[in-house]
Structure 1
Amino acid sequence: MSIDFSALHAAPRLLIEAELQPLQGARFQPTGFPDLGAAVYDGPNGNRLLLVESAQSMANRMETVCWDAPNDDWVAPLKGLPLIKVIDNQGKPLTNTVQEAHRLNSAYVLEGKDQTVFDKLKAELADMDEGAVDLKKLAAVVLRYDANALLHGLFLAKKELAGGRLRLPRVVSSFIEAEDVNLAQSGGVKNDHVNPSGDTAKGFGNVPYSRSDYTAPKITAYFNIDLAQIRGFGLGIAVEQLLIALALYKIRAVLDFGLRLRTACDLDVKQLTVTRPDAWELPERNTLEAVLPGLIAAVAAENRFAEPRVTTVTWEKGKAKKPKAETESED
């Protein structure tokens, strides 16, 4: 099995659309936001649109499908990719950069007493303290420790690291949107069969509630892979092909078994279309699973990954104190 990367060499974007439908019934529950609720807005043609799932949430979902939680490791096709694991004082897994929202910039990685990763980043990026940020070098360093972060973006917001100017935008992004939506109001009641008239503020008593779901004739998941940005990293063909295949695997995995967004929002794929570039066919998940180990090995052969591939940090709250002389010099 192989993937035809040739048609992507000159394309600035790879755009994919998946038409979705509720797995059962017609109603679905969208994402909600504090002080806003569901995000309903007017489209350019005056039609009512609804944000079913945000870009931030879809990024999390595309990372979740890559992680084998029971075994605390990558899923089988992705084993060998570098990442950072955080353990507690007893050596038990705490978190990792695939699951952390801020990835390499996680407080559990950079804000504890174990400064292993912070010291590595500071040493390898020291020449960026002044002047323009070298994005190629930054990308190479990020690839070494956490290849996943190159796809989902990174902001190392620490003044000790190039004055907090180290940023990589998202390469792969996604959101789900519904068109011509209609509100489907319903409700229910939390029953207390012991004391129906009890103090509801303390969790007792019967509590009626309303519920707002939606229906829509069209629900679409949009995926965007920024091929120009991948090439812009300047890390070579092997890295480019690995990042593209990894992004495609994430998309396929989410569409195959990651669309149960909420209890009342379980979706299924009706139709999948590549809108750019024309006539390019999206590989099946089993094809991607077959080629990814070889692509990972090819990048490893170029010494692009940290060895060992897993960098371990022990979490203990509070940073290690700097030597007095160094602190005074900085002041």
Structure 2
Amino acid sequence: MSMHFDALETSPRLLMEADLHPIQGTRFQPTGFPDLGAAEYPAPHGEGRMLLVESAQSMANRLEAVCWDPGEEDWVAPLRGLPYVRVKNANGELLTTSVLEAHRLNSPYILESKDTTVLDMLKAELAGMEQGRVDIRKLAETLVRVDTNAALHGVFLAKKELAGGRLRLPRVLSGFIEAEDVQVAPSGGVKVDSVDPSGDTSKGFGNVPYARDEYVASRITAFFNLDLAQIRAFRLGEAAEQLLVAMALFKIRRFLEVGLRLRTACDLDCRALRVNRPEGFNVPTLSELEGALPGLIEAAGRQGLLNEPRITEVTYRK
């Protein structure tokens, strides 16, 4: 099954919004930050308060989490065949992967190990960039071949052996969630110790009352930005471009369907997804993307755009 992305050919961005609401009740729990708590701020036009429900950094992780099958320890079925780096421990057991790591391909379990398979490969692929401008197209070509997801997620290869630590690729796909016209919904509770209510609370004993703040909002919106101009600037050809766009849309669709339980007290549902730019583009359904992706992956493989074997296995040794 092929995908038709003709409406995107001249657009620099694909901008989308999704209307969200609590799946039960009216309250929700936003993300919190150290020394800050909830990220609440004035509305830009001076009326009401806004709230950051999910940051761009967290969304990048969530868009990848819905692509991984923890039971199979592999991509979910429609994405199998995409290359990535799989890290084993000394006993041959799965330790982590470049899909799950916080810094993706720049993981210390991949680049700081005595097993230098990936580092040597990157040094060979990206040689000649120690001085002068970094060749972003070559970097993107290498990422698509070794760890396709990293070309969408973005990467910073900070190793000095790799172009002096200057290899950076910005995120192609980004997102965040905001709430409008928010108000605090205060509540609280007590951790009850029925054995010793007056015990030493510093050691976990005793009754401990606590306050809790959740929020209500007139509107919760998820925003997504796919940088089409950046994908085209990679100049990897139609097969790679179609694969990257379809994979990005799959992430968004699957996140909105199965990934909206952000926290215990923040379980959301999607009411509608709409395209703001470009006009006239209809986002394929999740089932359409699931049907198309295996063929797009194999088409990219036939053109030599993906590693063989697709999974690079390394062993982490300190």
**TM-score using structure 1 length:** 0.95
Deviations 1:205-261 (A, max 9, x none): 110000010000100000010000000111011100000000000000000010000
Q: How far did 1:49 drift? A: 0.6
Supply the AA of the counterpart residue of 2:271.
Answer: K
Q: How far did 1:130 drift? A: 1.1
Q: Does 1:16 align with 2:16?
A: yes
Alignment of 1:128-167 (within 5 A): 128-167=129-168
Q: How far did 1:43 drift? A: 2.1
Tell me, in whole angstroms, the C-alpha distance in 2 between the residues paired with 1:16 and 1:3.
18
Equivalent in the alignment of 1:208: 209
Supply the AA of the counterpart residue of 1:251.
Answer: I
Equivalent residues of 1:87, 1:95 under 8 A apart: yes
Q: How far did 1:4 drift? A: 2.1
Equivalent in the alignment of 2:54: 53
Alignment of 1:247-258 (within 5 A): 247-258=248-259
Equivalent in the alignment of 2:291: 290
**Residue 71 of structure 2 aligns to a residue in which SS?**
helix
Alignment of 1:265-284 (within 5 A): 265-284=266-285
Supply the AA of the counterpart residue of 2:313.
Answer: T
Equivalent in the alignment of 1:37: 37
Q: Does 1:94 align with 2:100?
A: no
Equivalent residues of 1:89, 1:314 under 8 A apart: yes
Q: How far did 1:19 drift? A: 0.5
Tell me, in whole angstroms, the C-alpha distance in 2 between the residues paired with 1:143 and 1:245.
14
Q: How far did 1:158 drift? A: 1.1
Identity %: 64
Equivalent residues of 2:3, 2:242 under 8 A apart: no
Tell me, in whole angstroms, the C-alpha distance in 1 between the residues paired with 2:127 and 2:171.
24
Tell me, in whole angstroms, the C-alpha distance in 2 between the residues paired with 1:254 and 1:271.
13
Give the number of equivalent residue pairs: 317
Equivalent in the alignment of 2:3: 3
Q: How far did 1:299 drift? A: 0.5
Q: RMSD value over aligned CA atoms?
A: 0.8
Unmatched 5+ stretches in structure 2: none
Deviations 1:256-314 (A, max 9, x none): 01000000000001121111111211110000000001100110011111111100110
Equivalent in the alignment of 1:174: 175
**Residue 71 of structure 1 aligns to a residue in which SS?**
coil
Tell me, in whole angstroms, the C-alpha distance in 2 between the residues paired with 1:300 and 1:184.
52
Deviations 1:27-63 (A, max 9, x none): 0000000000000011211131100000111110110
Tell me, in whole angstroms, the C-alpha distance in 2 between the residues paired with 1:315 and 1:212.
42
Q: How far did 1:2 drift? A: 4.2
**Residue 231 of structure 2 aligns to a residue in which SS?**
helix
Equivalent residues of 1:2, 1:287 under 8 A apart: no
Equivalent residues of 2:87, 2:316 under 8 A apart: yes
**Residue 128 of structure 2 aligns to a residue in which SS?**
helix
**TM-score using structure 2 length:** 0.98
Tell me, in whole angstroms, the C-alpha distance in 2 between the residues paired with 1:49 and 1:177.
7
Tell me, in whole angstroms, the C-alpha distance in 1 between the residues paired with 2:56 and 2:84.
23
Deviations 1:162-214 (A, max 9, x none): 00000000000000000010001000010111111110000111100000100
Tell me, in whole angstroms, the C-alpha distance in 2 between the residues paired with 1:278 and 1:212.
40
Tell me, in whole angstroms, the C-alpha distance in 2 between the residues paired with 1:302 and 1:4.
20
